[in-house]
Structure 1
C-alpha cells in the first residue's frame, strides 16, 4: 500500500486555502493523504473557510482526517509537508503598503518598492516562526513556502535558517503560462517544454517548444508585440479582477524592450514605475479589489457550502 501523508496549510484562513485543498484532492493518486490540517493565528478568519474545507475533504475521501486549529503543536505534530501562505498584517496592512507609497508618487505594490520592503520585514518573522514550529514538532517535515514577498523571504530563510527544510516558491510564471498556452493553441501548459530564467517575478522565457521539439517562442513574441499576454479575443471573466487583464496587456510594452525573449509581466513595476503610478488609483488599490472581489466571493461560497452541508456544484 502507498504511504499516505499528512499536510498542514499555514495561513488556513486565506481565500486561497479552498483552492489548495481542491488541488490536493485532485492529485490523491500522486500524493495520497491521511490528514489535512489548517493552521492560523486568526481563528475567526479561519472559521470562515474551515467548515467548507472539511466538507470538501469528506465528500472526496472520508478517510482523510481534517483539523482546523490555532494551536501550533496540534498543527505541526506528525506532518510531512507544510504549505505556507501567511499574510502578516492581513489585507488592511497590504492596503497601507500600497497607498502610502502612491501618496508620494512611488509604486505602491505588495512585493516591490517601499510597500514590498515593509511587507517583507513583517513576513520574515512570521515565516521563521512557522519554520521553528515545524522543526520542533515534525523535524522531518518539508515546507513549501509561497508567502510574499517571495524573494525577500527566501533570502531571509537562506541567511537565518540555512539548513531548514524549506523551499520558497512562486506561482507567477505558471500563472502566465496558462495564458501563453491559450495564445499558442495548446490545451494545457503541460503540453509545453519551456526554458525560463530568473527568480519569481523577475524572469524571462527564452524557449517554448511542443513535445515534438518545435520552437514557438517567436510566434509568441509576435503575438505579444500586438496584444501583450492576452488572447486575441480575451475573456475578461477568466481574470479575478480587471487589473490582472491590464497586467497581461502591459507585456506588449515590456517585450518591445527586448523582443528576443518574453518577460514576466511583473517587470512592469521595475521598468515602467512612473506609468504604473500614473495608472494607479491611490484611493482604491489591489488590496481593495481583493477585499471587494475575491475575498467576498470565496467567503460567500464557503458560507453557502457550510449552510447546505455539501460542496456539490461549488463555484470554488
Structure 2
C-alpha cells in the first residue's frame, strides 16, 4: 500500500536510521527525503492477526550469504583459492582489516546450505556465537539480540544470560537451557522447511563469477572493457579467454547479467523465521507450518519469508568487481604473511 507522506516525516526517519547505524555504514544508503510517498509493508517479525500479549512472537533474521563454491573457468589462476574457500570467510578477513568487525566468525555458509541436520545446527550455533549483522532476533517486533551493523562482538555470558531471560515466555524449559533449545529450534526449522534449497538454486544462477560477467557488462553499456585493459597492462593474466564473453550474442549477454544480478540479490538477502508457541491441537488446525521440538516438549507455529529482495542495479557490476578484487588481495596477502611466519619459525627450529 502506498501512502502520501510529508518531507518532515522522511527526514525524521533518516535521522533515526543514521543514528542507529555503525559509523562505517553511515553513508551506505540514505532516505530520499524528496519523495512524496512510501510503501506500507507488513512487519514480518510478527504474526498477522491476534494480539501480541496473547502469544509472544520470536523472530530470527538470518543472512545466509553465498552457499556454494564457484567453479567458473573465468576465475583467474591467481584467484583459484575462490574454488576452495568461501566468499564469506575471505570477506571476513577484509572486514577485520578495515575494522568493520572485531573478530572473525566461525560461521560457514556451506554448513547452513548442506542439508545435513548436524551441519545446519553447527552453522546456527556459530551465528549465535558471533552474530555480526548476519543473525538478529526480535521479540514482539523489537530487536533483542544481534546488532544493526557488523561490529557486534562475540556473545558473552552476560548477553546469553539476558537472552535466556527474554526467552522464558517462548521456550518453557529450565533456566540455562533455553538458548540451546532456541538454537535447536532455528536449526530444526531450517532443516525441516528446506527453505534454503530454493535460495541456493537462485544463487547458482551466477555461472561465470564476477570475473567473467563483468566483461559483458561493458559490452552492454557500449564502453571499452576496462577489465581487459587492466589485465593487458598488468600482464598477470591473458585476456584471450574473455574473448568468448565479448563474442556471445547481445541477448545472451543480457541474460548473463540478469542472472548474475538475480544471484547477487539471493546472496545478500535475509531469511526471516517467526515462531510462536502453541499446543498440539491448535497446531494441527493452524494455517501456519508447525514444528515439534522434542527436546523442549513444545509445539511451535512458524512462518518463513525472504526480505531485502530488491533487484540489484546494473551499475553495481563495477562495485562488485572492485570489492571482489579487494577481498582477494587482502585474503591472499594474509595467506602470504602466514606462510612467511611459518617459514621463519621453521628456520629457527
Using structure 1 for the length normalisation, give the TM-score.
Answer: 0.26
Which structure would you say has the larger Rg?
A: 2
Q: Which has the higher contact order (CA 8 A, sep 6+)?
A: 2
